[in-house]
Structure 1
Amino acid sequence: MVYKEDQIAKVIVSYFGKLYTMQEGDRRETVEYALAALVKEVALSIHADKAPGPDGFSASFFHSNWDNIGDGLVKEIQGFFESGIIPAKINETHIRLIPKVNSPQTVAEYRPIALCNVEVLSGLCNKAHADGSLKGIRVARSFPRINHLLFADDTMFFIRADQRSCAALSSILSRYEAASGQAINTSKSSISFSKKTPSSIIEAAKGTLNIHQEGGVGKYLGLPKHFGRKKRDLFSSIVDKIKQKASGWSNRYLSTVGKFTMLKSVLSPIPSYAMTCFQLPVSLCKWIQSALTRFFWDARNGSRKMAWISWKKLTKSKAEGGLGFRDFQCFNIAFLAKLSWRLIHYPHSLLGRTLLGKYDPENDFMQITKRSSDSHGWRGILVGKDLIAENSGWIVGDGKSINIWTDPLLSCSRREAPMGPPPEELVKYTVADLFLPNSVEWDRQKIHRILPQWEDKILSIKTSALGAPDKLAWIHSKTGDYSTKSGYWAAMQSRTEPENNIVTPTALQDILPVGERLLARHIDVDPLCKRCGAFESVNHLFLHCPFAQEVWEHTPFASGFVARRSSDLPAVWKSLCDKVCLPPLGIVNVPLAPWLLWSLWIERNNFVFSNRYTSVADTVSKAICLAREWSGAQLREIVKGRNLTAPTPANPISVTVQSDAAWRNSSNLAGLGWTLKPWLFGKPWFSVAEMVSCISDANLILLNLSRQLSLTSPF
């Protein structure tokens, strides 16, 4: 065992030096066989903003300059695998050691990130799949065969349990070892078999592959490898992890604000990874919620304290009087909807071909219904699909995918479709049937005959001039793309009944521990106001107490407020927040009323528990100072968030277009304006478009007009 830093470094270098020592051998044939067409495919598949090296160049450099550097890059990579020699500068990278176990003691229990190169291995598997020597497996007739998957720094192989397939995989691994100089660590590898595999085949496969450890149980990357009937027990470790984090000694002395931050930023995201893949049982979500509730309300010494408000109310947004905590069932649905969104827009991806090929290869994904034989994972994806179906609309392209009676096509911001019942001969009519022959222009006469009450809205829809396919759009975002955040709030809205949309603070939820509420919870206290002796309720504390009435009378509102005339705080809250302060205060866009309530509550507690009296003037002044501080912080955030970078100078032989559009909902008219520089010295151009259904359509029309004009530019 070593403890000094220099000794630890020597042990690490020695261990990984032996592990990654190059093996001698002829690898030219293997490299040319496996990497001929793979290098370009891999380089262009990397996200443009990902994988930057120490020099700062990300993958976008290779994307944009491939025509110039592609051939040289391929030869450089092939040369490295053939000779085992690579220029020192190219080999520079950042290496991080990731512990594989809790409290690692040896170097072997760390995993180095950025040393693994599996391009040759993937290429060999693809070649073997093509020539039939390693076909892989499929789970259904319409399912593509897969013989390997790469995930993080792991490689998973899928083969038939027979001698021929095992021998082919063993040959591939041997060729990879010879070509890369990296040895397969069989002690850290495992092999899983289907339930009905005979024991003789199992032993033969283990011997051929020299892998004797069986897998299939436990977890992989925090998720269970196999599912049984008791789903709740499989995910119970999530709750254990939350409780472990929450009970840490450093968390016991957090203030309420500290607990709020800890809960939202650290504890609530713990189940997120599992939620992205599977639907958690309802009982587990309630178990997680209970653990977080106890963390938020209980005392520092762990003793159980009273929860003054239900978790359901705390999950409301701050604008609705909550704290924005997560409803875990809704958050789970929002994550699953992201998977469904991917299947809708990328049905030909490997994930799409796999799942759709297994569960329903004949029908469109949005038309698939739940069946009793469906797996747990697929049932969760269908739950996400239902959320998308309830909150999406169609963008008209060629019109072939949109049924005019059942699909929402009339609006960009809400689900709206023509109302039936349709005539029997028109039940299967699509939007394309409303176009002129061999065109994507509307047939006005046909629309007037079939859908006269919806004629104006349909004609305001702008179709694709190039005949692009129809696209399903998420109605809760400007771009039409789905996001987990907007999906979560859509799921929350669908689970709750419509309520009054007035902004209410915690006081209006009737949960402040005033005398009335403490008495209602059977706590033996004096329920009378310590200032005036009246029964202390929320309305009394903030409106009817003589001290509170004086505070409101001395508040410098442009129009006064008489508190004694108001019997209920929620009823007058919106008007209080709308009141404008006198100009000398410097409070413009921030309501003063919430800060007055906060000051009254602080002064009440100081008077009750510390016997400290504060004057009316000081209470009002404190509220004004807090409001100013808050207003200044919001202005600083706005300025900080602006992009102050100077615009990049335009190419001297290009045309710069500056444009803007406005849209009026009542008349469906759009005003368009743009300038082209340097052509005509930036002369402004204006136009008006009719039958425009939303501002995004107005912007598209504007871009199309300015583009057409710029193409006629003499530059």
Structure 2
Amino acid sequence: MLTKGAADNAFEGIKVSRTGPSVSHLFFADDSLIFFKASPKACEGIKNILDKFSRLSGEVINFHKSLIMFSPNTPPSCRFQMRSIVNTPSAEALGKYLGNNIEVNGRSSRMFLPLVEKVEKRLSSWHNLSLSLAGRVILINSVLSMLSLNILSVFLIPKLTADKLNSIFARFLWAGSRATKPIFWKGRTSLELPKGSGGLGIRNVHLFNKALLAKQAVRIHHASNSLIAQVYHAKYKTSPVNFSLNKFKLSRATWGFQGLCRAVQDCQEGFVKIIGDGSDTQITEDKWLRGDPIKVKPGIILQEQGLQTVSNLIISERKAWNTELIWKTFLPETSIRILSTYIPKESFKDYYAWSESKHGSINVKDVYIFYLKQKGALEMQQNRRKFWNNLWASDLRPKWKIFVWRILQRALATNTNLSKRNIPVNETCHFCHRFRENETHLFRDCDISSRIWSASTLGISTHSSRSIPIDEWIRNFLQLFWKEDGRRSERVREFVVTLWSIWLHRNNVVFRNLFEDPLIIIHRKNIILREFDESDNIKGNHLKITAPSSITHQGPLSSLIESRHRDICVILVDGAWKRYQEKHPRAGIGWIAHVNGRKVFEGNAAVITTSSLQTEALAVHKGLWEAHSRNIRSIQILSDSTDIVRAMSSQQHAFEIISIMHDIKAICRGFQHWEIKKVNRNEINLAHNLAVSARLGKLV
């Protein structure tokens, strides 16, 4: 009705810019905003439309709870006249929506005070409850998820406000109660790391805010027909992504647009140009290769040789790189990266794409991790990352996982740790009363703990391990058990529960003065394990686990027999990729095709690629191209790559195969019938052998 009213000139919507779309209304759940130029005629038109809506729907609008707002240049006399027509109170501001101010000026942190108050109120409602550390982590992330639904995904909040929220979360994590002054056992830098990198996964509000905005900017960039994209394009002549990556200067822009642009600017190294024809990309000024900057050989000046854009490095007639020119101009490492970049046969303009995602589409997690990498916070050995991933993915109780994390991070309230924080305590062990109580002594080297380990079903002797740090000792045992038993290892469960029982016994001695027989540790451990097994059995009985549907993989001969009556060309494709001397990959592709049991064509080729996925994609492309060049109309592709099969039915692709998939889908449009099927490696052995031969330099 509003759209029809605007079309019938009952009222006129407003424009953000002269060439922008006219906006008449916005609907948000059960709230509505109606925009129109201030005139008595427009007020009469809006009033008639709302009255008609009430008569037809039976829903009566409460005008006394509604508000009308005028622009600053509307004369007071006109305001009174139009307000009396609509019969609605006026206001100088739109107020709040979902607890946040609608009109935001990001230059002042006072505008975001309601956000801070909202978070404090949410967390304070839990202060009187005794939450474990694991429960507090879950609650903090749930509050962040709530914030991400509105304010954080729209506006860039001031860093002062973000730091205030981070401090509130850190205090709540370690205190759990407003009345107590907490001991901050670990700094925010450690807490904000992803769990796979040794942190607790509590997101940094500032980086999380920018990650949400970066994703929002890319969404607006791709959804060019959306209203917000049309408004921004009319006002600023481009999208926030192009505005930032092309280094346009921000002058007078709204705070919302500025936030989107700054979020993209801060992660611009993650955006890399996809090469189409290469005419819009400068060789050294634009980022079109992943990794290190482009390096030219000493003494060579690109401008003197007429090399300015990437198109100057391409032989346009063949749609191929000028290999001789590239090897003469650039250092070997750069030359390899250039030659491994695929040049599409179907021409299109160069454009920016997010390069840090495995599946092509940008998501908040990838951008957030990219920001952390920029800060240098994710430098960790691969084996450490594997350990943390196994710990968090195990079937242990959440509080046990947090407990192990605190031991390894030296974040437990042992006597030595308390003393380091200037808390007056006796550092002597509460068990043996001889040595200082730290993690190593309490959980392994104390005589009582040592006897507990040897008496357990694990039968661990600790005397030969005293020179090994406690964190390495725990990590080695857990990794061994996971390797031999899998993630649901019973030995891992018993190992962790033994640590937990020692800690419980120590706390009973310290806080309850219960000087029990140390054998109670083993007894308590057995009770805890038995309770865990019982709860695990209850979960297993009540959860309905749907078995995955069986997938029948047919071998090449079976596939040929099945397709014999259809005369379908079955193409086996595979790629063989191996990193050679760390930075110089060596790859080969192979393909072989049959129709009704008769071999039609086969071949292999050596290629330069940067990943196994790119190699598999080139193998599919070559097999399709060979079939298309022979005027074959119906094909079935057999590949052992799940990612390639998934990519054929997706619009989003990993960065290294975007251009290849563009050509693959263009070729597929020329077939009457095509399909791709995921099979096992042994079913495409013929193509695999051809690919390996090509990688070793033996071409058919």
- Contact kept, 8 Å, 1:514 with 1:536, in 2: the verdict is yes
3-state SS, counterpart of residue 517 of structure 1: helix
Q: 1:487 aligns with which of 342, 348, 367?
A: 367
Q: In 2, Cα distance between the equivalents of 1:641 and 1:328?
A: 37
Per the alignment, residue 713 of structure 1 pairs with 634
Q: 2:578 aligns with which of 637, 647, 664?
A: 664
Aligned: 1:535 with 2:441: no
Q: In 1, Cα distance between the equivalents of 2:247 and 2:471?
A: 46
- Contact kept, 8 Å, 1:405 with 1:427, in 2: the verdict is no
Per the alignment, residue 618 of structure 2 pairs with 701
Q: 2:283 aligns with which of 404, 414, 426?
A: 404
Q: Give the AA of the match of 1:463.
A: I
Q: In 2, Cα distance between the equivalents of 1:355 and 1:143?
A: 8
Moved more, 617-626 or 693-702: 617-626
Q: 1:518 aligns with which of 418, 421, 437?
A: 418
Q: Could you say if the C-alpha distance between residues 410 and 306 of structure 1 is closer, same or farther in structure 2, counting changes exceeding 3 Å?
A: closer
- What do the CA deviations read for 1:363-418 (whole angstroms, capped 9, x no partner)? 7441245646443222321221123312232333333443321333334xx56545
- Contact kept, 8 Å, 2:406 with 2:412, in 1: the verdict is yes
Q: In 1, Cα distance between the equivalents of 2:57 and 2:369?
A: 49
Q: In 2, Cα distance between the equivalents of 1:589 and 1:707?
A: 51
Q: Could you say if the C-alpha distance between residues 564 and 439 of structure 1 is closer, same or farther in structure 2, counting changes exceeding 3 Å?
A: closer
Per the alignment, residue 557 of structure 2 pairs with none
Alignment of 1:120-519 (within 5 A): 120-125=1-6, 127-128=7-8, 136-163=13-40, 165-166=42-43, 186-214=63-91, 216-228=93-105, 231-248=108-125, 252-266=129-143, 269-270=146-147, 272-298=149-175, 302-347=179-224, 349-359=226-236, 361=238, 364-369=243-248, 371=250, 373-411=252-290, 414=291, 417-418=294-295, 423-424=302-303, 429-438=308-317, 440-451=319-330, 453=332, 454-497=334-377, 499-501=379-381, 502=384, 505-519=405-419
Q: Could you say if the C-alpha distance between residues 647 and 706 of structure 1 is closer, same or farther in structure 2, counting changes exceeding 3 Å?
A: farther
Q: Give the AA of the match of 2:360.
A: G
Q: In 1, Cα distance between the equivalents of 2:123 and 2:417?
A: 29
Per the alignment, residue 692 of structure 1 pairs with 609
Number of corresponding residues: 584
Aligned: 1:601 with 2:482: no
Q: In 1, Cα distance between the equivalents of 2:502 and 2:262?
A: 47
Moved more, 694-703 or 270-279: 694-703
Q: In 1, Cα distance between the equivalents of 2:483 and 2:144?
A: 44
Q: 2:549 aligns with which of 645, 651, 671?
A: 645
Q: What is the TM-score with the length of structure 1 in the denominator?
A: 0.68
3-state SS, counterpart of residue 269 of structure 1: helix
3-state SS, counterpart of residue 665 of structure 1: strand
Aligned: 1:612 with 2:492: no
Moved more, 578-587 or 198-207: 578-587
Q: Could you say if the C-alpha distance between residues 623 and 179 of structure 1 is closer, same or farther in structure 2, counting changes exceeding 3 Å?
A: closer
Unaligned runs of 5+ in 2: 389-404, 554-561, 636-672, 674-700
Q: Could you say if the C-alpha distance between residues 559 and 284 of structure 1 is closer, same or farther in structure 2, counting changes exceeding 3 Å?
A: same
- Contact kept, 8 Å, 1:549 with 1:563, in 2: the verdict is no
Q: Could you say if the C-alpha distance between residues 467 and 188 of structure 1 is closer, same or farther in structure 2, counting changes exceeding 3 Å?
A: farther
Superposition deviation, residue 685 in structure 1: 7.5
Per chain length, whose mean CA-contact separation is higher, i.e. which structure has more relative contact order (CA < 8 Å, sep 6+)? 2
Q: What is the TM-score with the length of structure 2 in the denominator?
A: 0.69
Moved more, 167-176 or 208-217: 167-176
Q: In 1, Cα distance between the equivalents of 2:10 and 2:586?
A: 63
Identity of aligned residues (%): 24
Q: Could you say if the C-alpha distance between residues 527 and 594 of structure 1 is closer, same or farther in structure 2, counting changes exceeding 3 Å?
A: same
3-state SS, counterpart of residue 235 of structure 1: helix
- Contact kept, 8 Å, 1:606 with 1:613, in 2: the verdict is no
Q: In 1, Cα distance between the equivalents of 2:68 and 2:215?
A: 31
- What do the CA deviations read for 1:621-669 (whole angstroms, capped 9, x no partner)? 869969x979x99x99xx9999713569999969688866553233331
3-state SS, counterpart of residue 472 of structure 1: strand
Q: In 2, Cα distance between the equivalents of 1:226 and 1:431?
A: 45
Q: In 2, Cα distance between the equivalents of 1:384 and 1:591?
A: 43
Q: Could you say if the C-alpha distance between residues 168 and 657 of structure 1 is closer, same or farther in structure 2, counting changes exceeding 3 Å?
A: farther
- Contact kept, 8 Å, 2:354 with 2:361, in 1: the verdict is yes
3-state SS, counterpart of residue 315 of structure 2: coil
Q: Could you say if the C-alpha distance between residues 444 and 230 of structure 1 is closer, same or farther in structure 2, counting changes exceeding 3 Å?
A: closer
Q: Could you say if the C-alpha distance between residues 133 and 283 of structure 1 is closer, same or farther in structure 2, counting changes exceeding 3 Å?
A: same
Unaligned runs of 5+ in 1: 1-119
Alignment of 1:612-631 (within 5 A): 612-615=516-519, 618=522
Superposition deviation, residue 361 in structure 1: 5.0
Moved more, 639-648 or 493-502: 639-648
Q: Give the AA of the match of 1:713.
A: S
Q: Could you say if the C-alpha distance between residues 148 and 268 of structure 1 is closer, same or farther in structure 2, counting changes exceeding 3 Å?
A: closer
Q: Could you say if the C-alpha distance between residues 374 and 186 of structure 1 is closer, same or farther in structure 2, counting changes exceeding 3 Å?
A: same
- What do the CA deviations read for 1:291-349 (whole angstroms, capped 9, x no partner)? 33343333668444433333332222333332211211111111111122224434564
Q: In 1, Cα distance between the equivalents of 2:599 and 2:492?
A: 40
Q: In 2, Cα distance between the equivalents of 1:192 and 1:682?
A: 76
Q: Could you say if the C-alpha distance between residues 305 and 662 of structure 1 is closer, same or farther in structure 2, counting changes exceeding 3 Å?
A: same
Q: Give the AA of the match of 1:566.
A: S
Q: Give the AA of the match of 1:279.
A: L
Q: In 1, Cα distance between the equivalents of 2:412 and 2:496?
A: 15
Superposition deviation, residue 460 in structure 1: 1.9
Q: Give the AA of the match of 1:477.
A: S
Q: Could you say if the C-alpha distance between residues 156 and 268 of structure 1 is closer, same or farther in structure 2, counting changes exceeding 3 Å?
A: closer
Superposition deviation, residue 529 in structure 1: 0.8
Q: Give the AA of the match of 1:522.
A: N
Q: Could you say if the C-alpha distance between residues 518 and 250 of structure 1 is closer, same or farther in structure 2, counting changes exceeding 3 Å?
A: closer
- What do the CA deviations read for 1:207-230 (whole angstroms, capped 9, x no partner)? 455544446331134331223477
- What do the CA deviations read for 1:552-606 (whole angstroms, capped 9, x no partner)? 6678999987555416435666555544689799949969876664454345445
- The Cα RMSD (Å) is 4.8
Q: Give the AA of the match of 1:691.
A: I
Q: Could you say if the C-alpha distance between residues 604 and 268 of structure 1 is closer, same or farther in structure 2, counting changes exceeding 3 Å?
A: farther
Q: In 2, Cα distance between the equivalents of 1:358 and 1:663?
A: 48
Per the alignment, residue 445 of structure 2 pairs with 544
Q: In 1, Cα distance between the equivalents of 2:163 and 2:348?
A: 45
Superposition deviation, residue 696 in structure 1: 3.2
